[in-house]
Amino acid sequence: MQICCIALYHRDGNRRHELKFQPGKFNVVTGVSDTGKSAVLEIVDYCLGSGTHGVYRGPQLETIGWYGLQLIIGGERIFVARRRPPIGQKTSDHAMLIRGGVLPAPSKMYQTTNIATVVSELEKLIGIDENLQEPPEGSTRDPVTAGLRHAVPYVLQPQRLIADPKYLFDGQEDNFKEQHIRDTLPFFLGAVDQDSLAQRRDLRTRRLELRKAQAALADSEHADSAVIARASLLLDEAAKTGLINSDTDTAVADVRAILREAIDSEPPEEGSTLTGDAEKIAALQDRKNELGDTIREVRAEKRILMHRAQLAADVATEFEERASRLTSLDLLPNDDAVDEACPLCGSDSSPRSPAAHQLRKELDVVRAQTASAVYSEPGLEEVIDVYEQRIQAFVDQLETVDSELQVLVARDKAAAHARTRLEQQAYLRGRIEGFLQEHPPIDASEGDGLRRQVKLAEKRVDTLEKLLSADATRERTENALSYVGADMTKMAQRLALSYAAEGVRLDPVALTVVGRDPSGPIWLNQDIGSGKNWVGYHVITLLALHRYFIDNKRPVPAMLLLDQPTQAFFPSTKRDDPNRALGDMRDEDQEQVRRIFDLLRETVSSLHGGLQVIVMDHAEFEDEWFEDAVGQNNWRGGRGLVPNDWYA
Amino acid sequence: MKDWPNRPSEHRTLFNPAFLAVLIADIAAGYEDESKQPLPYVLPFLSVPIVIHEPTRESLPTIATSMYAWLDRRPQARVEIPLLAPQFVESIREAIRFGALHDALKFGAGGSIVPLDLSKPRRGSQTPELRRCRDRARFTGRWLGRAGDPGTILVAWGLRV
């Protein structure tokens, strides 16, 4: 990506002003005014998606409505534009992107997209594809995806930065931004290349495979022990039900063989007593019930008879007593007396007491009654006896049947028990058969196979992890930076920068230049040396990086914008003088400045259009190359970023 | 009291005058043994029901037990006997005459009853129940003989003359 021109659109929608640059060449913008020049970097940053509009204000800039940037990326012209924020706003999202690069007419500036989309499109065009920078293990940082914004620090060197010893890159004073630079430098150097995403996916897959293989191995080992346990249980049952000898050694390793033998053995013959008893028993039970019923009936009849006999007996008893009491007459000494008069009072009027003979008559009657009462139930006693005998006979029969029944039942129980046992054995056989089928012995070779798979998966994971490890990245980063450092050293020695005699390099963690002096390494950010030195180091570092990016086709915008690199070389009294000129410098400083510009020119030309450098500076050189470099961009004589008539 | 042919059969047989007369003679004999006095005329009307009422008869105590104490213990006797006794008054009066007529007993002073000798029966043996009744009759006589004056006895049994 390089800049063809910057297009400024007047707020009024009528006017457009262009600042033309030459891609792939060394460009200089020279001129009087300080504002304006620095605004160029701000405008480029803004059009490439910076979060805020630049700090530069001023009447000139307030006339601008839209900032446009015509870029050339991979041979194609792309126009991007972003609206200047309206008054009161810090930024604006409104943007445009036109492929083909024709500059739109001033009246045609309106939002067609937003800046985030523009950035995304530019990323695609440059070739910053998906990438994910994973922080080193143990770090608490989230992985960072390198984007266009992370490449901007290699592009812009604002005025306040270019002579700063502490910070090498734009935005480094912000901790988060510095961290992002640190995290994304390896990517831009190609130490983490585009393939890592695919490799990471691959690693995830391999890790999954490894886990699966490990699980399968564990399962098979576990399953085997569980299976053995179940087999032992079955063996116990087989011993209990008599399927195998109970003294068989079940602790022997091959339980399966024992089980197989158990079910292959012949089942025993069924006993002949096993059938038929049930019917007999049933028949006897019925007979028993019959007899019971019969006995009950006969007993009931006997009871009736006995009741009748008892009644008769009672009646007989009563009659006997009557007879007996009547015989009291015989107790009386004189039974022939005739009652005529009361012996007490001699009167005759009381009713006649019975005479003795009347009592005797009474007795005879009673006696007759008694006799007949006894004989009115002829043979009752005999009948009762017969019943008794019958009952007894039935009871005897019942006892016989009962004892027969008991014998049969006992035999039947034994048979049932034997039957149950056979059933149990048969059932157990079935279970053992099923078990043996379900759990064929695990081949030793199968276990080996699983183990091999695990090893293979482990190896694959290992390889990928090595490829992707942060260590590998660090190594490759260091490797890349060694080239960068070699380049830096050459340039530093050419510029006769201090501490460069024994080599300088870029420290990717400290994000600063490291040189050497007799006492050891010197870090630029230790504030050693002078501003002139630091400018040199900024320049050579960025040039070396860009050379590396370009040689290795890295997706970094191939442009470098330097803002006021010579300022540090002016005497301090002249530094802010808008009219300062090269002649104001000391000779050796002039020399140094020339060297820097020469270096810039030569680097650009050695890259054959691969790099565009744009220098915004006050210094003017008489040389021809300088005029070529400036082109139209001489802002002396009142010209500036914005045409005078825009704000006059 | 009806004429002999018209009486209920129990009265003609179980409670015939010969039987009752024998009992009265036995009671008088027991009374005389104990108290050395002839049986007062009123006492057969109490004592005969006692003997012929089987539950009362069979719950009589020994001679040592005081009649009044026994009556306290067994209050139903004072209900049952007073209910029974009036039904036998005529029979007992007749039995006394019958007994006198047939020399089972004779009268003493004030109409009291003196037993005559019944130890020689003319024929047959007695049933166990008959023997039991006679034995209890004798006991009752003795028991009454120890119990004091007839009026007090009657009141104790709940009888009114």
- Chain A CB contacts of B18 below 8 Å: 325-326, 328-329, 331-332, 356, 359
% of chain B at pLDDT higher than 90:
40
- Whether residue A167 contacts residue A535, with contact meaning beta carbons closer than 8 Å, is answered with no
Token digits for A158?
Answer: 């604002």
User: For residue B100, is pLDDT > 50?
Assistant: yes
- Sheet hosting strand A512-517, strand order edge to edge: A505-507, A512-517, A520-523
CB-CB under 8 Å, A334 with B102: yes
| Interface probe, candidates B1, B7, B16, B105, chain A, greatest A C-beta count within 10 A | B16
- Whether residue B83 contacts residue B110, with contact meaning beta carbons closer than 8 Å, is answered with no
Question: Quick one: pLDDT at residue A272?
Answer: 46
Helix, strand, coil in percent for chain A, rounding step 5 = 55, 10, 35
Contacts of A275 (CB under 8 A, 6+ apart): none
User: For residue B73, is pLDDT > 80?
Assistant: yes
Going by C-alpha positions, the residue among A31, A201, A174, A4 that lies closest to residue A635 is: A31
Round to whole Å and give the CA distance between A459 and A464.
9
Report which of residues A56 and B44 the model is more confident about.
B44
Contacts of B117 (CB under 8 A, 6+ apart): A333
Report which of residues B143 and A196 the model is more confident about.
B143
Mean pLDDT of chain B: 88
- Whether residue A92 contacts residue A82, with contact meaning beta carbons closer than 8 Å, is answered with yes
Nearest chain A CA: its distance from B113 CA (Å): 11
Question: Quick one: pLDDT at residue A373?
Answer: 53
Alpha helices in A265-352 (DSSP H): 277-326
Checking DSSP bridges between strand A520-523 and strand B105-107, what pairing results, if any? unpaired
Round to whole Å and give the CA distance between A39 and B27.
164
Round to whole Å and give the CA distance between A47 and A469.
36
Nearest CA in chain A to B23: A328
CB-CB under 8 Å, B129 with A321: yes
- Chain B CB contacts of A356 below 8 Å: 18, 102
- Whether residue A58 contacts residue A35, with contact meaning beta carbons closer than 8 Å, is answered with yes
CB-CB under 8 Å, B3 with A353: no
CB-CB under 8 Å, A343 with B104: no
Going by C-alpha positions, the residue among A614, A612, A608, A611 that lies closest to residue A630 is: A614
CB-CB under 8 Å, B13 with A322: yes
* Residue given tokens 């190609």 in the structure block: A190
Amino acid at residue number A210: L
Question: Quick one: pLDDT at residue B50?
Answer: 94
Burial class (CB in 10 A: 0-12, 13-18, 19+), A286: exposed
Question: Quick one: pLDDT at residue A384?
Answer: 83
DSSP string covering A29-97: EEES-STTHHHHHHHHHHHTT-SS--S---HHHHTEEEEEEEEEETTEEEEEEEEPPPTT-S---EEEE
Token digits for A646?
Answer: 């825009």
Checking DSSP bridges between strand A16-20 and strand A2-10, what pairing results, if any? antiparallel
- Intervals of chain A under pLDDT 70: 32-37, 55-59, 101, 129-144, 193-197, 245-255, 266-276, 312, 315-316, 335-353, 369-378, 441-444, 470, 527-528, 578, 637-638, 648
A99 and B CB contact within 8 Å: no
What is residue A114's three-state secondary structure? strand
- Chain B CB contacts of A315 below 8 Å: none
Question: Quick one: pLDDT at residue A326?
Answer: 82
For A351, the enclosing helix (H) or strand (E) is none
- Chain B CB contacts of A344 below 8 Å: 96-97, 100, 107, 111
A320 and B CB contact within 8 Å: yes
- Which residues of B, range 75-134, sit inside 8 Å of A by Cβ? 94, 96-104, 107, 111, 116-118, 120-124, 126-127, 129-130
**B128-145 helix and B17-35 helix, angle to the nearest 10 degrees:** 40
Give me the total of CB pairs closer than 8 Å, taking one residue from chain A and one from chain B.
Answer: 107
Convert the pLDDT of each residue in B117-129 to its tens digit. Answer: 887 777 666 778 8
